[in-house]
Amino acid sequence: MASEGPIRLVECSWDGKIGVNPEAIRILSRIPPPLRVVSIFGPRQSGKSYLLNVLAGSTGFTVSKECSPNDLCINMWTLPNVEEPGHTLVLLDTEGFDEDLVIEGAAFTCPVFTLSLLLSSVFLYNTWVPVTMDILDQLLHVTTLTNQVSLPAIGWAGESLLPQFVWCVRDFEVDMAMGDVELMPEDFLDSVLNDAKGLQSPSGIICELFSQDRVNILDFCRPQHGADSMDEISWGGRDPRFTRQVKVLKRTIFRSDPKVSQGRGALSGRELGAMLEQFVDSMSRGSPIQLDRVTVEMAGPENVQEQFLSRDHENAQDQFLFRDRENSVREERADPYRGTGKGDRVQVGGHPGDMQKPVCLIANTNTGELQVDQEALDILRSIGQPVVVVSIVGLYRTGKSYLMNRLAGKQTGFSLGSTVQDDVTLVLLDTEGLGDVEKGDQKNDTWIFSLAVLLSSTLVYNSIGNISNDAVMSLHYVTELTEHIKVKSTKEKAQDTSSDYMRFFPTFVWAVRDFTLELKLNGKTATADEYLENSLKLKNGTSKAVALSNDARECIRNYFPDRKCFVFDQPGSKEKLKVLDQLRDSELDPQFVKQTSDFCSYVFGCSKEKTIKGGIIVTGSLLGNLAVTYVDAIRSGSIPCLENAVAALSQIENSTAVEESFALYRRLLGERVKLHTETEEELSSVHDGCLKEALQLFMNRSFKDEDHKYQETLMERVKQVYEGKCAENAEMSQNHCAALLLQLENDMDPDESYMRPGGYQHFKADLNRLVNEYKSFPAKGVKAEQALEDYLSEKNQQEKMILTADRNLSEQQRRLEEQQAQVERESQRAAAAREQQRALERRMNDMERAHRENERQLRLKMERDRIAANEENQRVIDQKLREQRALFEQGYREKAEKMNADIRHLKNEISSQKPKKKGGICVLS
């Protein structure tokens, strides 16, 4: 729906009150997606409204020499986008800003600027002066944006929440050349932005908020020569060059993305209006706009699930585990793990509140290469919690997916949220296609099995019948693990040992389906676990067949010391097996139902968080990066190496930890401190608290920052922001005090009234009264003494002139007055110097406290890492001792004694892991 003409959308009073026009919201509510929102901001009389009229192709916005300085507002005009049928163009025109965008000596924190920026998909900054960094730095409103708005920490949510920034330079043709070289506009703008005056300047903040490809510069000549003002320009008499320049602007606008919301896609007018109302509500309450939260809340509860799941991928049919189409369950509604793609794949499932169905994580492409699916990767990277990863492997057509569906809560009436802790996410991995003779790719099967081992904390092996020698031999993938997985990098001379693999291999659960034997050993009733251990006993003999059989058993025993077994009776008749997932529990064999329930209870209750070498707990984000690292290694022809993977992950995670911790510090500092502060201590105290929380986040998120490079980067960035905040605090105090002194000076007589006999005493009395009144005013801030010293220094010359002109004073009296004035000036200089000294001492104290806090948190982290490493070693020792005891009992004394060396080595590692007295500490200086 197009509006008949421009309509007031938002108006703002000078005291910060904001009003939204209900009629404008009603117009927006009728506009379907997609829409392009173009807003323009800049000084009065710079041709903003005229440019929007040109974009609209009609005269709508008022173009006039006269503009009321009290009109702080946004006017809106909606109209069909003739360039793109089916799209709507929303034009937003801001009004009421002085030429230099500066009001009363400071950047005016007006909601109009923030709203025009956040609502738009393309933001035009309109000026009519030459292109210099000083002109860009006049956009002072942007310096308050990070205090008014909280943007997502990671990558600004792909920058989809912020518009394209276009600097429109009016009535001025930019010479885009460097020497004899003609530059492209984007290169010319880069050369300008290279002169940005630090992170806290407007230009510096623009560089930080908008990436290089989202900032443009366009120049426009005067639309018509001879016209004194915009309202005198005839509609059809425009300069051809101006017309061409407008076409370039249109191309820039229409090549940009429509207005979108985080993770959602193109917005409708109704959603844009709802977004505006939430922005205004936050501003009216004085709260920062939580931009990512606003966009989710705006969508409504019914659409949040869609936001999380909707990803447009051309290859959505490829799914995460490995299974062929003909092997999947016949009814898709009965089995969410039913695949649609060809070849092998790994599927991922999680909390049903997060995912309605499995998605592909790792697919085997038509060219035979493994590939990580972006949709699943995005889901995993959105999980900041630790993960429990349960994967299931086994031959095709053995009913693996039924067990995964039960774990996922299908037909059982429970949700995963009730079976795992709130601070842990369960991730289910299903593998498909193993052992498919038609596929005939055993090497690929081994890679699939290896990836399942590498990514999981609990590995379920699913087989049918019983654990016979053939069943053990069918698990030949275990014997090949060391050929497909390495623990140590090639730089280390030491070879991988079974202890190295035991540290990170998952718990092994053997699920035996359609079990028909009695659980008895030597005539006595046995448990499923005892049945498994008996099946894994080494065979006597020296033949090649016995050696191969024992090789598989030893690999299972050595690599998977934590073992569990579940046996399952047949669930029902053959007819029921065909529609197993469609049957209720009451239609299945009661014993099978109980066995399935026991299996699920064990997985939920005993599965551990996924960890990697060093006891590092894996989050969903880390798991996704692990998958990428391993698959990249396989694709390159290398063998996945745990040590290299951890090193690569540490770089990714530590960089993210720096960004998130820095964003947290900056956000907290902006929320908790209101400048200017009365004392240095007030700002310093807030800084201490923000730094502490930022360091805690960094320590919890980072790992293997062995040379403290990332920690130093964080501290350096924090230092820059804090010093900038201190400088801003001092400047605001100085300006406030200077304004106060000028205000008090208004009560003094004019300068010429003192130039008479007796005028000096009159002047001194007035000046002393001014000083006393100034000192009595509260909340002057950290530059109170320095501002007074500067003021009195400026008055010194006037005081000398008045003293000289006062003929009532004798020469001796004049000298005495000069001496007294000199004493007073020295006293004030001393007071200002003491103020400056206190500031320096406060900074030194800040440095010392930052050093101590940094050191304290680093020692805590080192101690946690030491304890985790010792616990990991002790767990392996206990497992080794259990296996050694079993070998002794089974008569394999020689094999048992060979384990002593490994056990001694592990104990020595624990003994050597004592708390270190000193460590490298980075300092905020």
- The answer, yes or no, to whether residue 101 has pLDDT greater than 80, is no
How many residues are given for the chain?
Answer: 925
DSSP secondary structure letter of residue 502: H
Looking at per-residue pLDDT, the higher value among 659 and 265 belongs to: 659
Residue 604 has a pLDDT of: 87
What mean pLDDT comes out for the span 725-747?
Answer: 91
Residue 262 has a pLDDT of: 62
Residue 871 domain flag:
no
**CATH number of residue 410's parent domain:** 3.40.50.300
Residue 904 has a pLDDT of: 77
Of 810, 840, 860, the one marking the end of a domain is 860
Residues 700 and 632 in one domain: no
Q: What's the half-sphere exposure (Cβ side, CA atoms, 13 Å) at 228?
A: 2
Residue 844 domain flag:
yes
Residues 98 and 72 in one domain: yes
Alpha-carbon dihedral angle through residues 675, 678, 684, 685, given to the nearest 10 degrees: -100
Cα separation, 790 vs 129, in Å, equals 34
Looking at per-residue pLDDT, the higher value among 399 and 469 belongs to: 469
For residue 776, what pLDDT band results from cuts at 50, 70 and 90? very high
Mean pLDDT, the chain, rounded, equals 77
Residue 807: Cβ within 10 Å count: 10
- The answer to which of 149-153, 585-589, 710-714, 809-813 has the lowest mean pLDDT is 149-153
Bridge partners of residue 122, in order along the sequence:
38, 164
Residue 869 domain flag:
no
Residues 296 and 319 in one domain: no
Residue 874 domain flag:
no
Q: What's the half-sphere exposure (Cβ side, CA atoms, 13 Å) at 265?
A: 13
What mean pLDDT comes out for the span 825-832?
Answer: 80
Find which of 364-378, 497-511, 668-682 is predicted with most confidence, using mean pLDDT: 668-682
What mean pLDDT comes out for the span 121-137?
Answer: 78
- The answer to which of 124-133, 224-233, 316-325, 745-754 has the lowest mean pLDDT is 316-325
Cα separation, 866 vs 916, in Å, equals 10
- The answer, yes or no, to whether residue 851 has pLDDT greater than 80, is no
Residues 676 and 605 in one domain: no
Looking at per-residue pLDDT, the higher value among 549 and 228 belongs to: 549
Residues 6+ positions from 882 with CB-CB distance below 8 Å = 561
Residue 158: Cβ within 10 Å count: 12
Residues 483 and 523 in one domain: yes
How many Å from the N-terminal Cα to the C-terminal Cα in the chain? 58
Residue 194 has a pLDDT of: 62
Kindly report whether the peptide bond that precedes residue 736 is cis, defined as omega within 30 degrees of 0.
Answer: no
Angle between helices 291-299 and 301-309 (to 10 degrees): 110
Angle between helices 269-284 and 291-299 (to 10 degrees): 130
Q: What percent of the chain has pLDDT over 90?
A: 15
Amino acid at 697: L
- What are the tokens at 435? 């052992």
Residue 866 domain flag:
no
Measured in whole angstroms, the distance separating CA 190 from the mean position of its chain's CA atoms is: 26
Residue 564 has a pLDDT of: 94
Number of folded domains in the chain?
3
Residues 6+ positions from 832 with CB-CB distance below 8 Å = 785, 786, 788, 789
What mean pLDDT comes out for the span 46-73?
Answer: 76
- The answer, yes or no, to whether residue 382 has pLDDT greater than 60, is yes
What mean pLDDT comes out for the span 134-149?
Answer: 72
- The answer, yes or no, to whether residue 865 has pLDDT greater than 90, is no
List pLDDT tens digits, range 453-512.
Answer: 989 999 999 988 888 888 888 787 787 777 777 776 655 545 555 566 777 788 999 999
DSSP string, 212-274: GGGEEEEEE--SSTT-SSGGGS-TT---HHHHHHHHHHHHHHHHSPPPEETTTEEPPHHHHHH
Q: Give the C-alpha distances (Å, rounded to integers) separating 11 from 15, 93, 96.
A: 12, 12, 10
- The answer to which of 263-277, 321-335, 698-712, 855-869 has the lowest mean pLDDT is 321-335
Amino acid at 256: S
- The answer, yes or no, to whether residue 912 has pLDDT greater than 70, is no
Residue 894 domain flag:
no
Of 301, 333, 366, the one marking the end of a domain is 301
Residue 560: Cβ within 10 Å count: 23
Residues 692 and 780 in one domain: yes
Residues 249 and 332 in one domain: no
Cα separation, 77 vs 93, in Å, equals 9
Burial annotation 97-127 (CB, 10 A radius, 16+ → b, else e): beeebebeeebbbbbbbbbbbbbbbbbbbbb
Residues 297 and 339 in one domain: no
**CATH number of residue 831's parent domain:** 1.20.1000.10
Show the CA angle centred on residue 164, arms to residues 158 and 166, nearest 5°.
150
Task: Assign 670 to helix, strand or coil.
Answer: helix
Show the CA angle centred on residue 845, arms to residues 843 and 851, nearest 5°.
105
Specify the pairing of strand 35-41 against strand 563-567: unpaired
- Which structural domain, as residue segments, surrounds residue 372? 311-640
Cα separation, 588 vs 109, in Å, equals 68
Residues 6+ positions from 838 with CB-CB distance below 8 Å = 680
Task: Assign 47 to helix, strand or coil.
Answer: coil
Find which of 152-156, 316-320, 401-405 is predicted with most confidence, using mean pLDDT: 401-405
Residue 845 domain flag:
yes
Looking at per-residue pLDDT, the higher value among 482 and 833 belongs to: 833
For residue 200, what pLDDT band results from cuts at 50, 70 and 90? low
- The answer, yes or no, to whether residue 411 has pLDDT greater than 60, is no
Residue 582: Cβ within 10 Å count: 15
Please, are residues 220 and 171 in contact by the beta-carbon 8 Å criterion?
yes
- The answer, yes or no, to whether residue 338 has pLDDT greater than 50, is no
Of 247, 271, 301, the one marking the end of a domain is 301
Cα separation, 626 vs 361, in Å, equals 12
Q: What percent of the chain has pLDDT over 70?
A: 76
C-alpha closest to that of 586 among 572, 600, 575, 570 = 572
For residue 38, what pLDDT band results from cuts at 50, 70 and 90? very high
Kindly report whether the peptide bond that precedes residue 34 is cis, defined as omega within 30 degrees of 0.
Answer: yes
Residues 791 and 694 in one domain: yes
- The answer to which of 107-111, 250-254, 349-353, 424-428 has the lowest mean pLDDT is 349-353
- The answer, yes or no, to whether residue 250 has pLDDT greater than 60, is yes
Cα separation, 301 vs 280, in Å, equals 21
Residue 77: Cβ within 10 Å count: 24
Please, are residues 463 and 510 in contact by the beta-carbon 8 Å criterion?
yes
C-alpha closest to that of 557 among 879, 95, 123 = 879
CA torsion sign, 141 to 143 to 144 to 145?
A: positive
- The answer to which of 302-311, 379-388, 651-660 has the lowest mean pLDDT is 302-311
- Quote the pTM value: 0.53
Amino acid at 415: S
Cα separation, 847 vs 839, in Å, equals 12
For residue 179, what pLDDT band results from cuts at 50, 70 and 90? low
Residues 414 and 347 in one domain: yes
Residues 279 and 323 in one domain: no
Cα separation, 647 vs 82, in Å, equals 53
Residue 772 has a pLDDT of: 93
Residues 6+ positions from 178 with CB-CB distance below 8 Å = 188, 191
Residues 845 and 696 in one domain: yes
Residues 6+ positions from 545 with CB-CB distance below 8 Å = none
Please, are residues 278 and 296 in contact by the beta-carbon 8 Å criterion?
no
Residue 647 domain flag:
no
Residue 170 has a pLDDT of: 84
DSSP secondary structure letter of residue 127: E
CB-count burial class (<10 Å; 0-12, 13-18, 19+) for 868: middle
Cα separation, 293 vs 230, in Å, equals 42
Cα separation, 20 vs 27, in Å, equals 13
Residue 797 has a pLDDT of: 80
